[in-house]
Amino acid sequence: MASSSKPTPLLKDELDIVIPTIRNLDFLEMWRPFFEQYHLIIVQDGDPSKVIKVPQGFDYELYNRNDINRILGPKASCISFKDSACRCFGYMVSKKKYIYTIDDDCFVAKDPTGHEINALEQHIKNLLSPSTPFFFNTLYDPYRDGADFVRGYPFSLREGVPTAVSHGLWLNIPDYDAPTQLVKPHERNTRFVDAVMTIPKGTLFPMCGMNLAFDRELIGPAMYFGLMGDGQPIGRYDDMWAGWCIKVICDHLGLGVKTGLPYIWHSKASNPFVNLKKEYKGIFWQEEIIPFFQAATLSKDCTSVQKCYIELSKQVKEKLGTIDPYFVKLADAMVTWIEAWDEINNSAEVKTSDKASEAGPK
């Protein structure tokens, strides 16, 4: 007699899905075929007294600001408020090896043949296959079916390196900054490029956090989304800050970062005028921030992600602190983040009293 049970998806017990939100999570219904068997960590931003509704059948824990304050105490100051950067709290409290994070306005996309894309499955494939940061392969990811290393690719580099980050893309609404949104209000991304590639060593990239997966054990402590939102002079640079930091550290530790597939369908454009208010200082600052990261080097003593991140925080304070006092505050928060990460993750378990304020069916 055939079993009626669903097939077990890849890494079912080794991956958490982290979702930051201020609203009911109706969008999960369309993701049900792909997400239902995984554990979700929902980080509720904004008013903690608001009740967030989650569709039935999902296994989840939900943390609001009161939970964050109770669990981290004074160190909760490093977790942003009224900004999707709060999602990184979910990374901290996860007990799994892998993380996939997605925004609640990201829907299931379709490939050119009309088939729904299982974004999570593609991210897992990206993470479980090596990266090639030291020499570019012109057929892109050589480990994908139907591809290989091209003629002239050094045999000594064909084993690749572990993949720490898988950065996915978006159909429909592109991830544009406010000035580009204003001059191209009707532009939509309809180009489906069937490619995954490793970002070369020494090359930075603008990381977007709305369709992102990573190996928490390899790079988790560096996946801090900074101080953004309420009480801060800047917003919408949370994921990019994390991206610049993780790329410098991955390059130093010999880890890989991939970008390309999978696509999600980004359903709605945020208000460009609101975005401009959040971004405008960052638009000026990034012209100095990016050269800083391009020139950043880490010492041989930096043999762990935590050591790398602490050393990078010192350089942020010293070299970016002259731009604005915000960067001194951010550098201190980077240290607080690492201290909180180590405290949470070195304890055997989060105490029962520290569990989420609400949990779905187990």
CA 334 vs. chain centroid, Å, equals 16
Where in the chain are the domains?
15-343
Say which residues have a Cβ less than 8 Å from residue 65's Cβ, sequence separation at least 6: 44, 45, 46, 48, 81
Distance in angstroms (rounded) separating the CA atoms of residues 44 and 132: 37
DSSP assigned state of 83: S
Q: What is the mean pLDDT of each run of 10 residues along the chain (362 residues)?
A: 70 98 98 98 97 98 98 98 97 98 98 98 98 98 96 98 98 97 97 98 98 98 97 97 98 98 96 96 98 98 98 98 98 98 78 46 44
Distance in angstroms (rounded) separating the CA atoms of residues 86 and 67: 12
What's the pLDDT score for residue 128?
98
What's the pLDDT score for residue 355?
47
* Chain segment 284-294, per-residue pLDDT in tens: 999 999 999 99
What's the pLDDT score for residue 356?
55
- Amino acid of residue 173: I
Distance in angstroms (rounded) separating the CA atoms of residues 183 and 180: 5
What's the pLDDT score for residue 351?
42
What's the pLDDT score for residue 209?
98
* Chain segment 310-349, per-residue pLDDT in tens: 999 999 999 999 999 999 999 999 999 999 999 999 974 4
Give the CATH class of 15-343: alpha beta
- Amino acid of residue 265: W
What's the pLDDT score for residue 359?
52
190 neighbors 203 (Cβ within 8 angstroms): no
- Three-class secondary structure of residue 227 per DSSP: coil
Distance in angstroms (rounded) separating the CA atoms of residues 119 and 167: 11
* Chain segment 88-140, per-residue pLDDT in tens: 999 999 999 999 999 999 999 999 999 999 999 999 999 999 999 999 999 99
Residues paired with residue 359 on neighbouring β-strands, in sequence order: 61
- Sign of the torsion angle spanned by Cα atoms 210, 281, 91, 54: negative
What's the pLDDT score for residue 6?
80
